[in-house]
Structure 1
């Protein structure tokens, strides 16, 4: 074989020194999403005096190991982690806003702005003292919604759970209920990124009523009950 033939048959070696970060960002992001997305919600809770913890059912082994690779990958992968997963707050008391605040503080403003899907308790409402017929959101519920407005710039889906501890609003008069729902909806409209509002009712005994469901659907909300309706 001639030297020219030998030269022509020599395969070209890949450039040396290439690594994962040499890939285009969209390819890296696709990898982050495939590794870090889980098909079930991530449940947030906190014991008194303790930091926020996350319960991830059936999470993969070394699920978050990618975040420990280096600073750049940690930053890029964290954005994918918070954008592609659902986070459910597991607090049915008036302290839920504190849990939400602690969670947002823990992950930092950049990651908070990446969140796309959150689940909270259905906001509570009350009468305005001295103003019969006037309704306002309870302070803790309003605080939670303000946190979402101020810190979750990419929030696109918000789920709300109606449970035994916050279903009293649905047992009030139609005027009170509609006033409360309109107040809640006004807060949602202050989150420009919000595209999908889901209400999950886990209580029974006619709550929410058919008329309440119709009113919420009229606001563009999605209603899901225990029966799936």
Structure 2
């Protein structure tokens, strides 16, 4: 029996098994001429995007599953200061063409903790970061969830940290500008768990600030960079 002789619901289950991961799909940008987006492969993750190249029917049936049911994690948009005005998300979104409109879940790093100041001394988001959010707004028209990751230390969570509050204020209008967005998640990647094993981070003002906006907080612990 040929694969396409199977009932559609069975084919869809096969596609889901081969194309949907529980963890976000990590993307990277290769700087060259032109720039190219690539998936950071994890041995044994089971993802088989080559399935889409089987034929047009497989591509048409499987693409909506790959792009709508996975979370795509973009790299640090501003890691290389020489490229901080470039639209990193556009590399991947351009490569996948109209499939970008199927994407429903995206993970991005927050802008740097110390954001830029304009000529008057007011905080502002880096221009490249704004352009990335605008591109996501314009192309990912089915986007329902965006997660912004923010690495920091536990002591900052418990301090009245004005830069973090300003950062939330700066992000808010751009996130509200994405009409399809249903859930905004701020993922705090907290260090210092070893130093503070019994700390209840949920009592910190930063998390209250996020929740007061109607956003979701997700706390993930990680080893300190120095450890």
TM-score calculated relative to the size of structure 2: 0.73
- Cα deviation, 1:152-177, whole Å, max 9, x if unaligned, reads 1111111111136xxx9x99963x54
* Contact residue 21 and residue 28 of structure 1 kept, 8 A: no
Show structure 2 runs of 5+ residues with no match: 223-227
What is the CA distance between 1:22 and its match in structure 2? Answer: 8.2
Number of the residue aligned with 1:71: 56
The residue matched to 1:113 in structure 2 has which SS?
helix
Q: Is residue 2:207 matched to residue 1:223?
A: no
Q: How does 1:64-213 map onto structure 2 within 5 Å?
A: 64-91=49-76, 93=79, 95=83, 98-108=87-97, 110-124=98-112, 125-130=115-120, 134-163=122-151, 174=162, 177-204=164-191, 210-213=204-207
In the TM superposition, residue 111 of structure 1 has moved relative to its aligned partner by: 0.9
| Per-residue deviation, 1:18 | 8.8
Q: Tell me if the contact between 2:105 and 2:145 (Cα under 8 Å) persists in the aligned partners.
A: yes
Provide closer, same or farther for how the CA distance between residues 135 and 31 of structure 1 changes in structure 2, counting only shifts above 3 A: same
2:159 and 2:204 in contact (8 A); partners too:
no
**How far apart are 1:85 and its partner, in Å?**
1.1
User: Could you report, residue by residue, the CA deviation over 1:45-101 in whole angstroms, capped at 9, with x for unpaired residues?
Assistant: 12321522102422328x234212211321331221111112112335154753311
Contact 1:121 1:160 in 2 (8 A): yes
1:42 alignment counterpart: 25
Count of equivalent residues? 202
Note the aligned Cα RMSD (angstroms).
Answer: 3.5
Residues in 2 aligned to 1:64 and 1:126: alpha-carbon distance in whole angstroms: 39
Name the structure 2 match of 1:10.
none
Shift of 1:103: 0.5
Q: Higher Cα Rg: structure 1 or 2?
A: 1
CA gap of 1:59–1:182, structure 2 versus 1, over 3 A, is same
For 1:12-68, what per-residue CA distance to the aligned partner results, in whole angstroms no more than 9, with x for missing partners?
xxxxx99727855x665444223311222211112321522102422328x234212
